[in-house]
Amino acid sequence: MASVSGGVALSCPSRLSHRSSSSSHRRHVSSSSVKMAVSVDEKKKSFTLRKSEEAFEIAKELMPGGVNSPVRAFKSVGGQPILFDSVKGSHMWDIDGNEYIDYVGSWGPAIIGHADDEVLAALAETMKKGTSFGAPCLLENILAEMVISAVPSIEMVRFVNSGTEACMGMLRLARAFTGKEKIIKFEGCYHGHADPFLVKAGSGVATLGLPDSPGVPRAATFETLTSPFNDLSTVEKLFEANKGEIAAVILEPVVGNSGFIAPKPDFLNALQEITKENGALLVFDEVMTGFRISYGGAQEYFGITPDITTLGKIIGGGLPVGAYGGRREIMELVAPAGPMYQAGTLSGNPLAMTAGIQTLKRLKEPGSYEYLDKITEGPVYNFGDAKNSDTAKFARFFRGMLEEGVYFAPSQFEAGFTSLAHTPEDIQQTIAAAEKPKWNGFFVWSLSVVIMAYLSLFVCLDGCIVSCTLNNRGEHIPYSVSPLRALPMA
């Protein structure tokens, strides 16, 4: 991969023929299990969301905003959300009967495709034995061994029930191990909805974090310091101003919830050095990047071993799960081995362990991970750049693509995902939908270039994630692949 002005040039030769011959990646998706899509034009004629709209009106009376996670409400793209009925492979069907090619992937876990036959079969066998034990089971050992053998930093692991829970345990552990309380996090990095992480930067380098949500007390964020991502100078100043007080530097090694922000060359190395020099821990939140950028996550790809790692999404194969792990000397502080308390009624749930085991088995098969030949030119390097997208134009594009049977993440800042189940036909249908002349005001040529590059990247690499945004002129602003193996290298 050739470095170009700090980034890497993009060239996306089609690998449709290669993907077509890789039958092992999609063996669980048969012609009978995935309903063949009708033509895009026929879809448009029959497209209606009447049942979803009616059901959502009821949902709003039952649940805050009608949903159980905010982004699902379609606030960023307008209109009302779709209520889905079933999924299989790379496709989804809503309660109105509309079919979509899915690029959300349950927000990341569905890396081998939805409702994989082998995963479902294994879950059926496990369910015959019970759905929850509230006690240790052999499945925990198996998944733990798989995680430890894959992720360089993890010598011991604790399973929990979500990425948020993993980050909560990680934070308590970092403070317990170091005896310090302050942490540094980065703007745009998402570590779940626990109070200490819901902060944004103040106006000065050393300004304490301010709560990002009502209900978060100032005291909960008092020890949280923030820095722009990729800004080593600010990190150094924070350490200088808070000597001997910082327990950990916590980050997503590749930011995937604020558009796509890749680490600059040597940024991660520098963080590792500065944490060691100051007796702090380096923590990678790999809930999104773990087992996606590479089997060993971003840390394996970049060759940087943090002290603690958090995981989620993929390791549960679509069921609720999270995990945190690290060096043995650190993890042995966790109860009951040590004094740092953390517990969970459903932690190590046999169903989640089963789905995780089957998913990781599939990912470890030869050919599941392929690197892109070349990568994007001019990657986004900070949260400020990522915010320069035109939300109105993205909303128009999103709604229009829904009508064409293509489901993207309902926010311009959220990552999109593909899976081993996506086919060349899925990609071609998506490109055809994006090239339609109805995109008046988007400068069709520019849009087509963006989308074709976007989807060529999808074709080139199983499991890639892309942030694709448009500026006020209808042209693409720097867009990048996120988080995947196609990342800038020094």
Please write the tens of the pLDDT for every residue from 62-91.
999 999 998 899 988 888 899 999 999 999
- Structural domain includes residue 449: no
> Of the residues 363, 392, 416, which one is the last residue of a structural domain?
363
Predicted confidence (pLDDT) per residue in 171-192, tens digit? 999 999 999 999 999 988 889 9
pLDDT of residue 103: 87
**How is residue 72 annotated by DSSP?**
G
Residue 153 lies in a domain: yes
The answer to whether position 81 is within a domain reads no
Secondary-structure breakdown of the chain: helix, strand, coil percentages, each rounded to the nearest 5: 35, 15, 50
CA distance 449 to 461: 18
Q: What is the rounded CA–CA span in Å between residue 20 and residue 2?
A: 28
The CATH number of whichever domain residue 294 belongs to comes to: 3.40.640.10
Question: Among residues 165, 153, 49, 156, which one has the least CA distance to residue 100?
Answer: 49
Question: Does residue 322 sit in the same domain as residue 210?
Answer: yes
Residue 202: predicted pLDDT = 26
Say whether both 290 and 159 belong to one domain: yes
Same domain? 417 vs 459 = yes
Same domain, 333 and 218: yes
Same domain membership, residue 135 and residue 55: no
Domain boundary among 363, 383, 405: 363
- Residue 75: per-residue pLDDT: 87
Structural domain includes residue 470: yes
**Residue 172 DSSP SS3:** helix
Question: Can you give the pLDDT of all 490 residues of the chain as single tens digits?
Answer: 322 222 222 222 222 222 233 344 444 443 333 444 334 445 555 889 999 999 999 999 999 999 999 889 998 888 889 999 999 999 999 999 999 999 889 998 999 999 999 999 999 999 999 999 999 999 999 999 999 999 999 999 999 999 999 999 999 999 999 999 999 999 888 899 888 888 752 222 223 344 667 888 888 888 999 999 999 999 999 999 999 999 999 999 988 777 667 899 899 999 999 999 999 999 999 999 999 888 999 999 999 999 999 999 999 999 999 999 999 999 999 999 999 999 999 999 999 999 999 999 999 988 887 633 332 333 333 434 434 445 677 788 888 889 999 998 888 777 777 788 888 788 778 778 877 756 554 433 333 333 333 333 332 223 333 333 322 222 233 333 333 333 332 2
Query: How many independent structural domains does the chain possess?
Result: 2
In a domain? residue 437:
yes
Let me know if residue 103 belongs to a domain: no
Are 489 and 421 a contacting pair, CB within 8 Å? no
- The phi, psi pair for 311, rounded to 5°, reads -135, 165
**Whole-structure pTM over 0.85, yes or no?**
no
Asked if residue 297 is part of any domain, the answer here is yes
Q: Which helix (H) or strand (E) holds 146?
A: helix 138-150
The structure tokens listed for 110 are 């569905």
Residues with a catalytic annotation lie at: 190, 285, 313
- What is the Cβ-side half-sphere exposure of residue 195, based on CA atoms within 13 angstroms? 11
388 and 357 both lie in a single domain: no
Does 199 share its domain with 281? yes
Same domain, 345 and 468: no
Outline where DSSP puts E strands in 79-123.
84-88, 91-94, 99-102
C-alpha–C-alpha distance, residues 479 and 390, integer Å? 13
Report the distance separating Cα 43 and Cα 38, nearest Å: 6
Answer for the pair 52, 80: CB distance below 8 angstroms, yes or no: yes
Q: Where are the alpha helices (DSSP H) in 204-349?
A: 218-221, 232-241, 267-277, 297-302, 328-331
Q: Are 303 and 409 contained in the same domain?
A: no
How many separate helices (H) and strands (E) can be counted in the chain? 16, 17
C-alpha distance from residue 336 to each of 303, 330, 364, 383 (Å): 32, 13, 32, 40
Give residue 275's domain range.
Answer: 117-363
Tokens representing residue 360 in the block: 């990781």
- Do 291 and 409 lie in a common domain? no
CB burial readout 381-409, b (16+ within 10 A) else e: bbbebbeebbbebbbbbbebbbbbbbbbb
Q: What is the pLDDT of residue 13?
A: 27
- Provide CB contacts within 8 A for 444, sequence distance 6+: 435, 437
| Per-residue pLDDT tens digits for 342-352 | 999 999 999 99
Amino acid at 372: L
Closest by Cα among 355, 323, 298 to 112: 355
The last residue of a domain, from among 330, 346, 363: 363
- Scanning the structure block, which residue is given the tokens 């709604």? 399
- pLDDT tens digit sequence for 286-330: 999 999 888 999 999 999 999 999 999 999 999 999 999 999 999
Same domain for 161 and 245? yes
Q: 């015959």: which residue's tokens? A: 128
Instruction: Clarify whether residues 394 and 269 are in a common domain.
Output: no
Whether 82 maps to a domain, the answer reads: no
Cβ proximity of 358 and 316 under 8 Å: no
